[in-house]
Structure 1
Amino acid sequence: MKVQVQWVTILLFLLLFGCVFSVHSASKVKELEKQRKMLLIEIKNTNKFLNENHKSIGDVQRRVDLLVKQVNTREQLVKILGNEIGVFNKKIQDKEIQIAQLERNLHLKKRNYAIAIQIVYQEKNNQDQLFFILSASNIVQSFHRALYMKEYGKWRRAQGEEIIIQQNKVIAEKQVLKYDVQTKTNLVNIKKNEEEKLRIQERIKGAEIENLKKNTKKLQAEIDKKKRQAEVLEREIARIIKEELAATKKAAARGSVKRKSETADGYAMTKEEQTLSTDFAKNKGKLPFPLKGSYCIVSRFGQHRYGNMENIHYNSNGIDIKTTQENSARAVFDGIVTRIFILPGYQVSVIVRHGNYLTLYSYLEQVFVKQGDKLKIGQCIGKIYTDKENGNLTILHFELWKEQTKLNPELWLYR
């Protein structure tokens, strides 16, 4: 009896642990699967743009950047697949242990049930149940014997039903195990396929970088040109911000409308702007992308070097998003259009203010808004410029500022 109680206790613990682990592993599998699908979409979009042909040295550089991005993304995908396989290995291992325990418990139940049936059979041969009840020394004992026989019969039936339930559970768990094993096999095959693609892309990337090195002078000239254009844009944004800061300070001094800034030299906001700024900050990592449809980030925020070319660096105050023709830039949050201007290398640019945050949308060829317009999140700002002389290259340049500080847009956008 002690052994039976121990087995039941162990089984209950394993079933409880199995349920907890099952919920955790299911959640982990869903999260990894979600990440894998997102990476596959990113790879698909990058492949689409890699297949386009552009002529200028700057776009050879962009192709190298895309290849580097593609290799990095595929490396992440291979890692995610490895993690998924690891989760399924653990699931399979735990499921095998759980099934073994269920089968041991089932065997124990069957053995006990067989003993009970054997006892009943012997009793039927040696002593009639009715005689057993009537042969009691008094009526109370007869009642207890009748009750015993009734409860014993119930117990036997319950044991029989429990055995059937246990058998069905073993069958069901084996089906789950079979599915997990097949899923793991599929993931292993996908991982092998992605690893082979990764090796091929590594070779292509290396060849493209070597080709780019042969045109170092042209590339450096292109970078220097873009650097000068970026500096002009940065100075223009800084000038606009200072101009707006001065205007709000004057307005605050007049006291016609109550204004408040976060810092002594910060942008003095109205109550409405303060609310807008707070709401914008709360949505970090949740802001929609500044365009819809297919896209690929071809230039990221901050300092970078081309491939493994240590002597050639570039800096970006925002991100460049490659997309399809006829696409439009969209507001990432509610705000007010404060400036529309034109600069060489950036076509038309639009600045939208969100309290003390600003977003910049450049490389526009047609603008659908005007200065002073109040925009809603997702509202079209303008059509993105397409370079007809360079394979219909369509890129949106997007920046995010807080006061006079440049921020990494990718940390704020929802992917």
Structure 2
Amino acid sequence: MKGNNNILLLVLLICCGISFSQSSRQQQLEEQRQQLRQEIEQMKKLRTDTKLKERSLLDEVEAINAQISTRENLIRITNQQANLLTREINVNFKKLDAFRKELQHLKEDYAKMIAKSYKSNSRQSRIMFLLSSSNFMQAYKRLQYMKQYNKHRKEQADNIVKQTEELKILNTDLANQKKSKELLVVQNRKEQEKLLSEKKQQQELMATIRKKSGVYSKQIKKKERQASAIDKAIEKLIREAIAKANKKAGKKVTNKGSATTFALTAEAKLVADNFTANKGKLPWPVGTGRVTKKFGPQPHPTLPNIKINSSGVELETRAGERARAIFEGEVIAIQKLRGAGRLVQIRHGNFITTYYNIENITVKEGDQVRTKQEIGEVRVNPATGRAIMKFLIYQNAKRLNPQHWIYRM
């Protein structure tokens, strides 16, 4: 019996360890799923808003592409939840089987004890059992044996009651897990249907665009020229900031706009070293959002035969979301670019981060900011209803890929 108890304990410890880790993962997945559902609802609201009548077809395709991508993520997360529940149910079935076997052993042992006790009582009374002892020590030992036997019998009875209750709880947990899984399966089926509907809309929009691909190609190229002009303006600001900092540090520069490397003081070098040490661990420049355009050259998401280039990353977030500094530093520029929104630039040693398309700015030039300090609000484009911020990282005058620096971007 002791061996069986040890085996049961080992099984339960393993199962409980697995169950705890799976429950923790289940909670994480549920949080992700709820976040994705909120994002989809926000996207739907933006797409159906009556103010968005001026939205171009390209913007509409980008919006539905984003919604499809988010819904596919939602379906993937829900599938993971359902699979995890299946594993949890299997673990609980093993626990249930172990409990049942142990309960059966307890009942069998208890039945033997009762039978033995009955036979003992029927042959002779307890007093006669004690009086028949050959000496005092034997009588004492028999008395202790009777006490231990009665105690053990009571413990067995208590264990049976306890195991029976645990079986009931486990059966209830299993029933709840099965209901949760069934609900997830139903929800996933509905999301699949919505996804098919969205993909149908996407195909219809793409068919319209393909008919006028020449017109839309010109629109895309025009946007690329505008983006290139903004990049040049940003880089001009960076060169001017380097020249200004170097002049202050006593380093000679030939011309205000030609400096490309910061002359670092000991303090600035420490900030730069700390920034470098946090590569891949820096926080997102918005509390919630997703990457809609990656860094570097890439095919256009709607017309892939057209190549576009991005000097940073574009992050779509919800209306009213606040932009925040990714690291401690000094605000060196707040500018309204011609034909574009406002930007904030923050220096971190010889690194500069740029947050573009910001309004309601809450910092000013010369301010020292801390990590995750809010600097303004991401502007919502009134024509598209989308809140998109462009985020760039430079080391001196060299562009860097933000996705290599920001945690899980």
Which TM-score applies when normalising by structure 1? 0.84
1:199 to 189, 196, 201: 196
Q: Are the counterparts in 2 of residues 286 and 414 from structure 1 also a CA contact under 8 Å? A: no
Q: Which amino acid aligns with 2:232?
A: R
Going from structure 1 to structure 2, the CA distance change for 1:378 and 1:195 (only over 3 Å counts) comes to same
Correspondence for 2:150? 153
Going from structure 1 to structure 2, the CA distance change for 1:393 and 1:82 (only over 3 Å counts) comes to closer
1:245-294 Cα distance to aligned partner (Å, 9 max, x none): 34545555569xxxxxxxxx74222333334334545385553534x7x8
Give yes or no for the alignment of 1:270 onto 2:268. Answer: no
Give yes or no for the alignment of 1:139 onto 2:139. Answer: no
SS at match of 1:351: strand
Q: Are the counterparts in 2 of residues 61 and 306 from structure 1 also a CA contact under 8 Å? A: no
Q: How far apart are the structure 2 equivalents of 1:366 and 1:18?
A: 53
RMSD: 3.2
1:92-135 Cα distance to aligned partner (Å, 9 max, x none): 11211211121111111111111111111121111011011011
Correspondence for 2:125? 128
Give yes or no for the alignment of 1:312 onto 2:306. Answer: yes
| Aligned residues with identical type, % of pairs | 28
1:355 to 336, 349, 360: 349
Stretches of structure 2 lacking an aligned partner (at least 5 in a row): 253-259
Q: Are the counterparts in 1 of residues 334 and 364 from structure 2 also a CA contact under 8 Å? A: yes
Deviating more after overlay: 273-282 vs 13-22? 273-282
Matches within 5 A, 1:331-346: 331-346=325-340
Going from structure 1 to structure 2, the CA distance change for 1:380 and 1:76 (only over 3 Å counts) comes to closer
Going from structure 1 to structure 2, the CA distance change for 1:184 and 1:385 (only over 3 Å counts) comes to closer
Q: How far apart are the structure 1 equivalents of 2:359 and 2:137?
A: 102
2:400 to 382, 393, 407: 407
Task: Tell me the CA shift for residue 318 of structure 1.
Answer: 2.7
Correspondence for 1:398? 391
Q: How far apart are the structure 2 equivalents of 1:132 and 1:326?
A: 87
Going from structure 1 to structure 2, the CA distance change for 1:351 and 1:77 (only over 3 Å counts) comes to same
Q: Which amino acid aligns with 1:50?
A: R
Task: Tell me the CA shift for residue 333 of structure 1.
Answer: 4.0
Task: Tell me the CA shift for residue 330 of structure 1.
Answer: 4.8
Task: Tell me the CA shift for residue 159 of structure 1.
Answer: 1.0
Correspondence for 1:372? 366
1:167 to 160, 164, 167: 164
Give yes or no for the alignment of 1:303 onto 2:291. Answer: no
Correspondence for 2:28? 31
Task: Tell me the CA shift for residue 378 of structure 1.
Answer: 5.7
Deviating more after overlay: 189-198 vs 217-226? 217-226
Deviating more after overlay: 13-22 vs 392-401? 392-401
Deviating more after overlay: 227-236 vs 278-287? 278-287
Going from structure 1 to structure 2, the CA distance change for 1:229 and 1:95 (only over 3 Å counts) comes to same
Deviating more after overlay: 62-71 vs 240-249? 240-249
Q: How far apart are the structure 1 equivalents of 2:182 and 2:144?
A: 56
Correspondence for 2:43? 46
Going from structure 1 to structure 2, the CA distance change for 1:145 and 1:404 (only over 3 Å counts) comes to same
Correspondence for 1:176? 173
Give yes or no for the alignment of 1:20 onto 2:17. Answer: yes
Correspondence for 2:257? none
Q: Which amino acid aligns with 2:390?
A: H
Task: Tell me the CA shift for residue 77 of structure 1.
Answer: 1.6
Q: How far apart are the structure 2 equivalents of 1:181 and 1:141?
A: 59
Matches within 5 A, 1:276-291: 276-281=271-276, 282=278, 284-290=280-286
Q: Which amino acid aligns with 1:206?
A: Q
Q: Are the counterparts in 1 of residues 61 and 302 from structure 2 also a CA contact under 8 Å? A: no
Stretches of structure 1 lacking an aligned partner (at least 5 in a row): 256-264
Q: Are the counterparts in 2 of residues 65 and 306 from structure 1 also a CA contact under 8 Å? A: no
Going from structure 1 to structure 2, the CA distance change for 1:250 and 1:236 (only over 3 Å counts) comes to same
SS at match of 1:345: coil
Which TM-score applies when normalising by structure 2? 0.85
1:208 to 201, 205, 220: 205
Correspondence for 2:85? 88
Q: Are the counterparts in 2 of residues 330 and 382 from structure 1 also a CA contact under 8 Å? A: yes
Q: How far apart are the structure 2 equivalents of 1:171 and 1:61?
A: 58
